[in-house]
Amino acid sequence: MTVFKGLGEFNDEREQRKMRLVDNLYAYLWQGSDNNCNTYVFAAALNQGRHLVIDPGHIATPFYREPGLDRLLKEMEGDGIAEAAIGLVILTHAHPDHCEAAAAIREKNSALVALHEADEATYQMLGGKVDLYLEEGQLVLGEDKPIKLSVYHSPGHSPGHVTLYWPDHKVLIAGDVIFYRSTGRVDLPGGNAGALKQSIQRLSQLDIEYLLCGHPYGHPGIIKGSEAVQENFEFVKRNFLF
Ligand SMILES: [Zn+2]
Ligand SMILES: [Zn+2]
């Protein structure tokens, strides 16, 4: 069992932020002072070797104006993941700290943006345009070496929040549903504590080896090892919603 208890377990500053997690899945963990989200990337997962970016975050953070997008793109480039080859952006939900950069990536690289329909109105208010709707069910990326993801509609933090499960490697990309020892807020517009509780309950039934959270709240945001993941679900159930 491995738990990323703190930043001390990473070797250097660069390693704190980026990592190739498993197969072609990369994690870019936010380490700035201001709020921004963690970004996850499936490199060359789409046809023609194009990339899938999940939750690109802020262009610049709201208070300190830290460069979110530039930093992300530079780090991706360091891993050989070119911005120009981004083909799809998936948004777990339409909060600015997850979705702000999506419109810029879409415009510059002709990438498509995918979101659950129930978050579309919020996204449109922020100036965003949706190309594809994400629905509960299977999502297959690419044809040569297809990656099969399960999309779960996981409302509560927002009405159209989705989480993505990759059964081949037991990875759950959880967005703002659950964090290390905490949960997503339910006091924002469209939030619903009962729905969040159900979403967490449902996701806790999955066999998860890597729980990838949408933020590094007091923790890098990746909980590794099925035992540690279950422990975290139990902690949250005991102390928060249940
Ligand atoms: Zn959020
Ligand atoms: Zn968030």
pLDDT in tens, 174-184: 999 999 999 99
The CA 191 to ligand 1 mean position distance, Å, reads 10
The bound ligand whose nearest atom lies closest to the alpha carbon of 37 is 2
The CA 195 to ligand 1 mean position distance, Å, reads 15
Contact 215, 221 (CB under 8 A): yes
pTM of the predicted model, to two decimals?
0.93
Across the range 110-126, mean pLDDT stands at 98
The bound ligand whose nearest atom lies closest to the alpha carbon of 189 is 1
Q: How far apart are CA 168 and CA 139, in angstroms?
A: 13
The CA 168 to ligand 2 mean position distance, Å, reads 26
The CA 184 to ligand 1 mean position distance, Å, reads 7
The CA 145 to ligand 2 mean position distance, Å, reads 31
pLDDT of 122 over the 60 cut? yes
What integer best gives the mean pLDDT of the chain?
92
Token pair 């959880």 is at which residue? 174
Q: How far apart are CA 176 and CA 223, in angstroms?
A: 14
pLDDT of 99 over the 70 cut? yes
Give phi and psi for 109, each to the nearest 5.
-120, 15
Local confidence band at 219 (pLDDT 50, 70, 90 cut-offs): confident
pLDDT at site 18: 66
The bound ligand whose nearest atom lies closest to the alpha carbon of 94 is 1
The CA 37 to ligand 2 mean position distance, Å, reads 6
The CA 5 to ligand 1 mean position distance, Å, reads 23
3-state secondary structure (DSSP) of residue 98: helix
User: How many other CB atoms are there within 10 angstroms of residue 118's CB atom?
Assistant: 18
The CA 10 to ligand 1 mean position distance, Å, reads 26
Closest CA to 116 of 37, 34, 199, 60: 199
Local confidence band at 240 (pLDDT 50, 70, 90 cut-offs): confident
Q: Read off the tokens for 195.
A: 């729905």
pLDDT tens digits, residue range 5-52? 443 344 444 455 668 999 999 999 999 999 999 999 999 999 999 999
3-state helix, strand, coil in the chain (%, to 5): 30, 25, 45
pLDDT at site 16: 52
The CA 123 to ligand 2 mean position distance, Å, reads 14
